[in-house]
Amino acid sequence: MFAKLLKFFISRPKSTFFGTLFICLFLSFFAFKLSVDASAESLLLEDDADLKTFREISKHYKSDNFLLLAFKPYDEKPFSNENLAKLKKLHEELEKAPLVERVFSIINAPLLQSSQNTDLKELLKNIPNIESLDINRTKAQNEILNSPFYKNNIISKDGKVTGLIIYLKPDTVYNNLIEKRDLATDEKEKDQIRLAIKEHQDKQKVITKQSLDTIKSIVRNYEKNKDTLYLGGVSMIADDMIAYIKSDLVLYGVSLVFLLGFALYYFFRSWRFVFLPLFICFISLSAASGVFALLNFQITVISSNYVALVLIITLSVVVHLITHFIESTQNHPKAKVERIVLETLLAKANPSLYAIVTTMIGFFSLILSNIEPIIKLGIMMSIGIGLALIFSYLFLASILVLLKPKNYHKKEFKFNLLAFCAKTALNPKKRRMIYGISVLAIILALIGISKLRVENSFVNYFKDGSEIKKGLLVIDKNLGGTLPLEVIIRFPNNKNDQNISDALDSFESEFENLATQETYWFDSKKTRIAKKVHEFLENKEFVGSVLSLNSLLTLGKNINDGKELDDFALAFLNENLPAKFKQDLL
């Protein structure tokens, strides 16, 4: 059956070639719609338990999307009048950028200990900042440098680097679509919502890109003044990673063209057998990319490797077929080219099929992973190399027939590695050497395996000399880091307390309602736990800075002349803090 099918295609070379080319070009058209996704959610499955927990928590504890701009003046004195004026101007320009909701820095940081007004109640009604008239600049500098909210967040410990937190407007449309998808029970409805999510993400990427470009342009203008600025943040990392992915795709393609072209010419000494394999490789890759776009797949940091992998595997199949074709041509110089092509394709059918199918199974096993891009890479590779095998056979069945026959030559090597290995293995005198080398190789492999470590640091994704890595390191060392981690503490309901609560009269039960309000946390037991957790995290080397209820406790202690605030004083402080103050700090 397969032989008849091959004869059919070989007997109609022009129809086979143009038919296959049309299919490939048609699929390749959709490859332009294949988008790149570098968001954090691209790493997780839709039904991931941790992701669901995060989204549920985000409903109660707002988690802002922000960028962090590190500003290091050339004289390393951010509190000087000149640098404060620069910061104010930078602050105002950033606030005008698209998608920017607000900017927080030492310019508008609320100050409670630097004003001439010592009445806390009056102070809380209109909290001053460093630009207020009644502020003592020296006191303001000391307060900012020692504040539990500002130190290692908007100012470095040494006071030489200051940070501007650029809060971006929340994407409410995306959040609503995600919530709808999670609540939907019908698969058709889910598919429609997924399509709407992708369309919205594509539009949002353009808007986010424009906003980031505007912010980068502002930053570049200030870098001309000998000051050093570094921009970081999750959105910034995602944008840079998309740029790196696109750059890598081009780099892989161009590098492989030159390397493979050189290798093919070295082996075959014929330009037709340089361009033919490369043509089949790239047309197959383009067609496969079009299929991925039709399946609504997106390229991630991990799945971007499919380009190099598909090209290499496709080339290995094509080279095997061409090598056999040349050998058959040399062995049967008078045979018709159609017969040689048929014999070549049939002779290599089983080896090629077994090689591709086993590779497909290996990649397809990645669907057992719980990481979304790993699963997608497995599916993409399985589809890609499957299509590559089909297109390789169809193109070779037609092109080799259409090409005029000639005397083909391939590079003959004086040293044959396979023959050398076979002779060595069959030589009884050298078997001990083989066993010794094998044991040594196993020992070295085990030593190497023991030293393998899992790397999950965004900083180490980038080269040492890259601007993004320099910026991330500056932010990590001076401003508490770029990536936030939220720790939620839940207290179990006490059954005994519940029974007592049921027995309380209506007057007393009113106070029980406090447990559902913001004052719930303001008792000595819970604040002690908050302090322990805060200090535990703060002592970890990988943690840049920690903000929690304990930060408010420390602030209250500083305001109260070093004395701990009691539960009622803390509750009073929390209740009377202005909404803007809470928005910026809590």
At 302 the pLDDT is 76
pLDDT band at 560 (very low <50, low <70, confident <90, very high): confident
pLDDT at 549 over 50: yes
Find out whether 297 and 383 touch, Cβ atoms under 8 Å.
no
pLDDT at 488 over 70: yes
At 412 the pLDDT is 59
**What single DSSP character describes residue 151?**
B
Per-residue pLDDT, averaged over 458-463, amounts to 71
Tokens of 360: 């497909």
At 18 the pLDDT is 93
pLDDT at 435 over 90: no
**pLDDT tens figures, 289-308:** 999 988 888 887 777 778 88
DSSP string, 38-78: --GGGGS-TT-HHHHHHHHHHHHS----EEEEEEE-TTS-T
At 23 the pLDDT is 93
Per-residue pLDDT, averaged over 45-66, amounts to 67
pLDDT at 60 over 50: yes
Q: What is the mean pLDDT of the chain?
A: 80
At 579 the pLDDT is 64
pLDDT band at 27 (very low <50, low <70, confident <90, very high): very high
At 177 the pLDDT is 85
Find out whether 57 and 486 touch, Cβ atoms under 8 Å.
yes
**pLDDT tens figures, 363-373:** 888 888 777 77
Question: How far is Cα 349 from Cα 362, in angstroms, rounded to an integer?
Answer: 20
**pLDDT tens figures, 562-579:** 777 676 776 666 666 666
At 510 the pLDDT is 46
If we measure between CA atoms, which residue out of 127, 117, 55 comes closest to residue 585? 127
Which residues, in sequence order, are CB contacts of 520 under 8 Å at separation 6+?
A: 514, 526
Alpha-helical (H) ranges within 61-186 are 81-95, 120-125, 137-146, 172-183
Of 36-50, 159-173, 230-244, the least confident: 36-50
Give the distance, in angstroms, between the CA of residue 296 and the centroid of all CA atoms in the same chain: 18
At 254 the pLDDT is 80
At 200 the pLDDT is 84
At 410 the pLDDT is 55
pLDDT at 513 over 60: no
**Domain 2-33+269-412 bears CATH identifier 1.20.1640.10:** yes
pLDDT at 67 over 60: yes
At 512 the pLDDT is 46
At 495 the pLDDT is 52
Find out whether 90 and 119 touch, Cβ atoms under 8 Å.
no
Find out whether 438 and 424 touch, Cβ atoms under 8 Å.
no
Of 90-99, 114-123, 194-203, the least confident: 114-123
pLDDT at 500 over 60: no
CATH 1.20.1640.10 residue ranges of the chain are 2-33+269-412
Highest mean pLDDT among 74-78, 120-124, 231-235, 304-308: 74-78
Of 118-132, 161-175, 315-329, the least confident: 118-132
